[in-house]
Amino acid sequence: MQPIVTNALTKKFGDFTATNAITFEVKQGEIFGFLGANGAGKTTAMRMLCGLLRPTSGEARVAGYDVYTQADKVKRNIGYMSQRFSLYEDLKVKENIRFYGGIYGLGNEAIREKTRQLLQKLEMEAEADLLVSALPLGWKQKLAFSVAILHDPSIVFLDEPTGGVDPITRRQFWDLIYEAASRGVTVFVTTHYMDEAEYCDRVSIMVDGRIQALDTPRQLKAQFGADSMDDVFLKLARGK
């Protein structure tokens, strides 16, 4: 069974159709890039998959659960990190980890063990008692990602996770994503950076609420006769 399956998923706000009958599947352990210009309907689609918005029509199953009737089960099995900060700046690193572990129902013992592993992996043991506001941006983002998958979700949704970060930190961030995917976590990521699209296993491009292209970056480039994903994106956006 695929982690994400949608069939003609549609969301209307009044007369405006934000997401128009999108149908796609995401495979287990895949890094799935979800691209589109601002206002193309990416965020709306993502919010429906996370159980934040109720679809107008169509079907969607996430982690095997129906987004209409089993939103609570969906929420329990996904991780989420948004472009804006998911961490509390006035809480210490340790306290943030404990808080998110706690709201996902992890026990004290599990949280302690997870905290130790996480800090070790990020080499942040010395910063455990610092307020998050004292950390550099790149560290905050890596920490936010690690916290988003603290409860071992089968799918993690990343909404423009690398906004405003320098290329080196972005590269390091993607190492974390690869590492998670290699452990079988399915990664659903939206991004503005076309170089990041190249890192994805498969990419979908939304234009005006519809999915206009969906394939591996290599095949998309071949299909549109483009050198880079940037070209593919521009051709699609202009060709409408």
- Name the site residues for other proteins (rule: CB under 8 A): 50-54, 72, 75-76, 78, 80-91, 95, 98-100, 102-105, 157
CB of 51 to other proteins, least distance (A): 7
Nearest of 159, 206, 156, 155 to residue 35 by alpha carbon: 206
CB of 202 to other proteins, least distance (A): 23
Characterize the bridge pairing of strands 16-26 and 4-13: antiparallel
SS3 39: coil
Shorter beta-carbon distance to other proteins: residue 113 or 123:
113
204 has which bridge partners? 34, 214
Shorter beta-carbon distance to other proteins: residue 51 or 58:
51
Shorter beta-carbon distance to other proteins: residue 77 or 172:
77
Shorter beta-carbon distance to other proteins: residue 91 or 176:
91
Nearest of 208, 203, 201, 209 to residue 230 by alpha carbon: 203
Instruction: Quote the Cα angle for 125-181-234, to 5°.
Output: 110
Shorter beta-carbon distance to other proteins: residue 89 or 113:
89
CA 83 to chain centre: 10
Instruction: Quote the Cα angle for 131-132-138, to 5°.
Output: 145
The alpha carbon torsion through 132, 126, 179, 136 (nearest 10 deg) reads 40
Shorter beta-carbon distance to other proteins: residue 100 or 173:
100
CB of 55 to other proteins, least distance (A): 10
CB of 67 to other proteins, least distance (A): 12
CB of 226 to other proteins, least distance (A): 34
CA 128 to CA 43: how far, in whole Å? 33
CB of 76 to other proteins, least distance (A): 5
SS3 125: helix
Residue 138 contacts residue 166 (beta carbons within 8 Å): yes
Shorter beta-carbon distance to other proteins: residue 3 or 217:
3
Characterize the bridge pairing of strands 57-62 and 4-13: antiparallel
CB of 130 to other proteins, least distance (A): 13
